[in-house]
Structure 1
Amino acid sequence: MSNLTRWNPVREFDDLMNRYNRMFGSNLASEREGKDLFSRSDWAPAVDIKETAEAFTIDAELPGMSKDDVKVTVHDGVLTIEGERKHEEESTDKKQHRIERFYGSFMRRFTLPENVDENSVKANFKDGLLTLTLLKAEPKEPKAIEVDVQ
């Protein structure tokens, strides 16, 4: 059995821009405009989504963040993970040579399958890893509606 990886041109372009920013050093743009060259105002944490017979599990990497920096909501079948990683305070006695980590706000949204119990979402945050567990619901039986024909 082979695993297929779906090509995502947007992700490939995003990776290219990240490498470009690192290679040419975004310090030039930071000095001119106060922000990174081709900067993004947001970033997206990496996630793993796994499924068992009983539940779905979403692991989101959020290094350097605390649970107070993250908000998880479920509304109309959409799970949203959002938050902000704040840049550490700059001091005059420190010289920064390279900054590759992304800072700022982020938002990830996932459309939940119909067999997920939206009220069962459990969250755990430990060592920069947010783990969400979503229990599966019993499949809804189709309702038969009797139509009165006149």
Structure 2
Amino acid sequence: MFKADLPGLKEEEVKVEIEEDDRVLQISSERDFEEEKNDSWHRVQRSSGRFTRRFRLPENTKMYEVKASMENGILTVTVPKESSC
């Protein structure tokens, strides 16, 4: 199971992909630049820009049963494995 904190992003803004040939899980998105400022101060609360994270999956991964869900800014990707005898 993979969990990622993605505050401020909506489910439709996050891309979860599986590269079957290489057994790689890829999570990517882009966050717009946010800032607040006035004449006396300037503040940026979060990093902005694109991000991508890649994870190699084990040989016994059930590639067609990977599921992803997002709730309250937390992405959860469940990667089931073949049972070992």
TM-score in terms of structure 1 length: 0.49
RMSD: 1.8
Alignment-derived partner of residue 25 in structure 2? 79
Alignment-derived partner of residue 13 in structure 1? none
Alignment-derived partner of residue 115 in structure 1? 60
What is the deviation of 1:101? 1.4
The number of aligned residues is 80
CA deviations on 1:4-56 (whole Å, 9 max, x unpaired) are xxxxxxxxxxxxxxxxxxxxxxxxxxxxxxxxxxxxxxxxxxxxxxxxxxxxx
Alignment-derived partner of residue 58 in structure 1? 2
Q: Which runs of 5+ in 2 are unaligned?
A: none
1:1-150 matches, within 5 Å, as 57-75=1-19, 76=21, 77-88=23-34, 94-95=37-38, 97-138=42-83
Taking only the aligned residue pairs, the percentage that are identical comes to: 45
Q: Which runs of 5+ in 1 are unaligned?
A: 1-56, 140-150
- Could you tell me which amino acid in structure 2 is paired with residue 59 of structure 1? K
Counterparts of 1:98 and 1:86 in 2: how far apart (Å)? 15
Higher strand share: 2
Runs of 4+ in structure 1 deviating by more than 4 angstroms, as ranges, are none
Counterparts of 1:101 and 1:122 in 2: how far apart (Å)? 28
CA deviations on 1:79-121 (whole Å, 9 max, x unpaired) are 0001111124x68xx4252224111110000000111111111
Larger relative contact order (CA 8 Å, sep ≥ 6): 2
Task: Select the structure of larger CA radius of gyration.
Answer: 1
Counterparts of 1:125 and 1:106 in 2: how far apart (Å)? 17
